[in-house]
Structures are given as structure tokens and as C-alpha cells.
């Protein structure tokens, strides 16, 4: 399916892992509507691994586990559609899924048709236990062709964790997004590692085939499958995580327990300015604007300043502090120059802080602002006359 902005929704894996069922999914969908998540754009409700029986039926079709999903997937899909949401499911390019359930290798066409018959709108397609005889690209092409043959509009979300040079072959395989990273965990180290791993992948992030930095852990607070007793994150870190995924045009798939969501989490994941940056239709690549000469690679990783042109003529600018220790002050001497607004233009930038709405006009190209440890500040900048 051609979707020109990153997908938004919820996926069962991060919180529920192997322990997924109809009641949880349905209640999540209901709460996505009630809490206002749907209103800001979250639309896909995705059931991840562990939803099926261990055996196919006599016709070779996948069967939903009747204990976990007593009414079956078509029923669930109808319920989700009736709420104005979309339904997503999971399979894998290997012989079994990562958790050991039947997978779609050599069953691509029958499985794609099963998903289409169930009214599936989104397919996450994993990479565990895949054939070593066929190229990864061909494995994904097979499922893409199988989806096309159904005639149903199904968003194809590839999940090969950025392995085997995914960024080089995935665009030709028909995927609408591709996992460009390993799995996320609910702690700061994981979030920072994932961000840093994207610095040399960003040029592969295309409109219609977005780099997927994995499902969000915002609001998990150390509880759930990928929390693994790692302690979770602070509110500052969850905000930074969400803001980075938005700047980098990653799909925004919530992974927290939406049925038990606290106010701060809701506030972060419904931030209208950040979602607007994520969903920007121009899909320009974000770029690093400090330390441009590459003489300080560590600073790019630890204290990046990132900019992204938006389709309304404004510029999103994000100033990050990923270092340890106390609050730092930041200087960006070349801010205006670095986003293409030289002194000679007679123009400068008016910066609106998205959290406080405070506006600052940049003078002499210099902009200074404090940013707390593991935190970010995000501004929407407008080009104005000096
Ligand atoms: C992993 C994938 C996770 C989740 C899991 C299910 O490969 O990256 O997001 O889908 O498999 O077993």
C-alpha cells in the first residue's frame, strides 16, 4: 500500500509478548478511541507473534488459537473496523516465527489471502528462521507479490532488523516500512543506541518506505515484555524517545499498555507538534547541523542538533543532550547558516519552543538554550526578515 507518511498505531509485542488475547486487543482498540489516540492519528491495532495454533488446518491455512481468540480474527477485525480503526497482524518469512509458531515461508500466497479474508490492513513480516537458499530480498518480494495478488490494500511492514544490508534491498521489495534497527528495550541505553544506529541509515528513509526504529516504549515504565526488569525510563527520556522517532519519520507504533496509561504518557504520545513533524508530507530527511565538519563524531552522537524542513515552509529544529551529568548549556553558533539562511540574506529565524510556545528571534546566527541530561528541546523555526 502506498502510504506517504509513517504508520501510526499500537502493537501488542512490547507489553504483552507471548501473552496476547482478544480481550486485550479489543479493550486496547476501545481505549485508543476513548483516550483520543485515534483523533491524533493512531489507527492500526496490530496483533504480533503468538496468535495462532502451532499447526495449520487441513487446507494448509493458519488458524487463530481459539483459547486466545475465541471469536476468530475476522470477528476481531470487524469490531476494530467498526470503531474506525484498522487491523494489523504478524507473520514471518521463515519456517517458523521468532516464537516458534507457523510462518509464511512457502505459504506466502495462502497466508496473504487468509489475512485479506480476515480484513487485515497491515502485515508485520518478521525474519526469524528464514531460508539461507533464497535472498532476503526475494523472501520479502514473495510476500509483497502475495499481498498484491489478494487485491487488498495491506500495509507491508518488513521486520528484518536492519540485518543483511536491509536498507540496500528492501525498497525494491515493496515494503512500506522496514525495521532498520534491532529490537528496542524499555531503557535509555536502548533508545540512545537505536538513535545512534540511524545516523548512517537516514539517507535510506524514503517516502513510502520509512525506516522503522521499532515500536515505542513510551509509558511502559519498566513493566511488560520488553521491560525485562531494566527499570524503564524517566519522563524526560520517554519524551526524547518520542521526539527522536518523530524527527526521524519512524512509524509511531505504541507499545505500552494503553488500557492502563498515565496522563504524562498520553501527553507525550499525543503531542501535536511532534506528530505533525512525523507526519510531514514533504518527508525531507532530517540533518545534523552542528559539528558539520565531522571532526567531532562523538559530539554528533552525544549532543546532536537536528533540523528538518517541513511542508509549510518552517523548519523543525531539535537540540539534544545525551550526555550524563548535570544540565548543559548549548551553543549553536552556526544555526541560521547551517539551515541555509546566511547572514547575507537579511533573514533570520524565529524559534518557537513547542513545549512552552515561547518565541525567540535568533540574532547574529547564535542560539543558546539549556537542555537537561537525556533531554531534547524541539523548536519550530520560521524564516523572517531581520
Ligand atoms: C522479533 C521482532 C519483534 C517481535 C518478535 C516476535 O523478531 O523484532 O518486534 O515481533 O520478533 O517474536
How far, in Å, from the CA of 126 to the mean position of ligand 1? 7
Nearest CA to 197 among 250, 129, 126, 254?
Answer: 250
Residue 315 · residue 349 · CB < 8 Å: yes
How far, in Å, from the CA of 276 to the mean position of ligand 1? 28
Give the span between the Cα atoms of 276 and 87, in whole angstroms.
23
Mean pLDDT by 10 residues, the chain (386 residues): 85 97 98 98 98 98 98 98 98 97 98 98 97 94 98 97 95 96 97 94 88 98 93 97 97 98 98 98 88 62 91 96 70 78 94 97 86 94 97
| Substitution candidate for ligand 1 out of 19, 49, 158 with most atoms within 8 A of CB | 49
Residue 126 Cβ < 6 Å to ligand 1: yes
- The CA–CA distances, whole Å, from 286 to 128, 206, 277, 318, 357 equal 31, 12, 10, 10, 22
Residue 169 Cβ < 6 Å to ligand 1: no
Give the per-residue pLDDT at 299: 72
Residue 248 · residue 199 · CB < 8 Å: no
| Substitution candidate for ligand 1 out of 16, 46, 48 with most atoms within 8 A of CB | 48
Size of the chain in residues: 386
Q: Which runs of E-coded beta strand occur in the chain?
A: 8-11, 44-46, 86-92, 122-126, 155-158, 177-179, 210-212, 252-254, 287-288, 305-309, 315-321, 328-332, 347-353, 359-361, 367-371, 375-385
Residue 218 Cβ < 6 Å to ligand 1: no
Give the per-residue pLDDT at 4: 87
| Substitution candidate for ligand 1 out of 126, 157, 185, 213 with most atoms within 8 A of CB | 126
Whether this prediction's pTM lies above 0.75 is answered by yes
Query: In the structure grid, which three cell numbers stand for residue 132, read together?
Result: 539461507
Spot the catalytic one: 65, 78, 117, 183.
183
315-321 and 375-385 strand pairing: antiparallel
Q: Active-site residue 183, yes or no?
A: yes
Give 50: exposed, middle or buried? Use CB within 10 Å, 0-12, 13-18, 19+. buried
How far, in Å, from the CA of 20 to the mean position of ligand 1? 14
How far, in Å, from the CA of 321 to the mean position of ligand 1? 30
Residue 137 · residue 160 · CB < 8 Å: no
Residue 44 · residue 7 · CB < 8 Å: yes
- The CA–CA distances, whole Å, from 290 to 83, 266, 348, 374 equal 45, 32, 17, 18
How far, in Å, from the CA of 98 to the mean position of ligand 1? 6
Place of cell 528495550: 185
Give the per-residue pLDDT at 295: 58
Alpha helices per DSSP H over the chain: 13-16, 22-34, 72-82, 108-117, 136-150, 166-169, 188-197, 235-247, 263-269, 272-278, 297-302, 335-338
Q: Active-site residue 39, yes or no?
A: no
Amino acid at each position: 500500500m502506498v502510504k506517504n507518511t509513517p504508520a501510526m498505531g499500537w502493537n501488542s509485542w512490547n507489553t504483552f509478548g507471548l501473552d496476547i488475547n482478544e480481550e486485550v486487543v479489543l479493550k486496547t482498540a476501545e481505549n485508543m478511541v476513548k483516550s483520543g489516540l485515534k483523533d491524533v492519528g493512531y489507527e492500526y491495532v496490530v496483533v504480533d507473534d503468538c496468535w495462532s495454533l502451532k499447526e495449520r488446518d487441513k487446507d494448509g491455512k493458519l488458524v487463530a488459537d481459539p483459547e486466545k481468540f475465541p471469536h476468530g480474527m475476522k470477528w476481531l477485525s470487524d469490531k476494530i473496523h467498526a470503531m474506525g480503526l484498522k487491523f494489523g497482524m504478524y507473520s514471518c518469512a521463515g519456517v517458523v516465527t521468532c516464537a516458534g509458531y507457523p510462518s509464511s515461508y512457502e505459504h506466502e500466497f495462502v497466508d496473504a489471502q487468509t489475512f485479506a479474508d480476515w480484513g487485515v490492513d497491515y502485515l508485520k513480516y518478521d525474519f526469524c528462521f528464514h531460508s539461507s537458499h533464497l535472498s532476503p530480498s526475494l523472501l520479502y518480494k514473495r510476500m509483497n507479490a502475495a499481498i498484491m495478488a489478494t487485491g487488498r490494500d495491506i500495509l507491508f511492514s518488513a521486520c528484518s532488523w536492519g540485518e543483511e544490508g536491509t536498507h540496500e534491498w528492501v525498497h525494491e521489495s515493496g515494503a512500506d516500512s522496514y525495521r532498520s534497527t534491532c529490537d528496542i528495550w524499555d531503557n535509555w541505553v536502548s533508545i540512545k543506541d537505536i538513535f545512534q544506529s540511524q545516523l548512517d541509515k537516514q539517507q535510506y528513509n524514503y517516502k513510502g518506505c520509512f525506516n522503522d526504529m521499532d515500536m515505542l516504549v513510551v509509558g511502559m515504565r519498566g513493566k511488560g515484555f520488553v521491560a525485562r526488569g531494566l527499570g524503564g525510563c524517566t519522563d524526560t527520556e520517554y519524551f526524547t524517545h518520542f521526539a527522536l522517532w518523530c524527527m526521524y519519520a519512524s512509524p509511531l507504533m505504541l507499545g505500552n499498555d494503553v488500557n492502563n496509561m498515565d496522563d504524562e504518557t498520553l501527553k507525550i504520545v499525543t503531542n501535536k507538534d511532534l506528530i505533525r513533524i512525523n507526519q510531514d508530507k514533504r518527508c525531507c530527511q532530517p540533518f545534523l547541523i552542528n559539528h558539520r565538519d565531522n571532526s567531532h563524531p562523538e559530539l554528533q552522537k552525544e549532543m546532536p542538533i537536528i533540523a528538518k524542513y517541513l511542508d509549510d515552509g518552517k523548519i523543525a529544529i531539535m537540540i539534544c543532550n545525551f550526555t550524563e551529568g548535570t544540565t548543559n548549556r548549548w551553543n549553536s553558533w552556526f544555526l541560521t547558516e547551517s539551515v541555509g539562511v546566511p547572514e547575507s540574506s537579511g533573514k533570520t529565524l524565529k524559534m518557537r519552543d513547542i513545549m512552552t510556545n515561547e518565541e525567540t528571534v535568533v540574532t547574529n546566527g547564535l542560539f543558546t538554550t539549556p537542555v537537561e541530561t537525556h533531554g531534547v528541546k524541539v523548536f519550530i523555526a520560521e524564516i523572517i526578515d531581520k
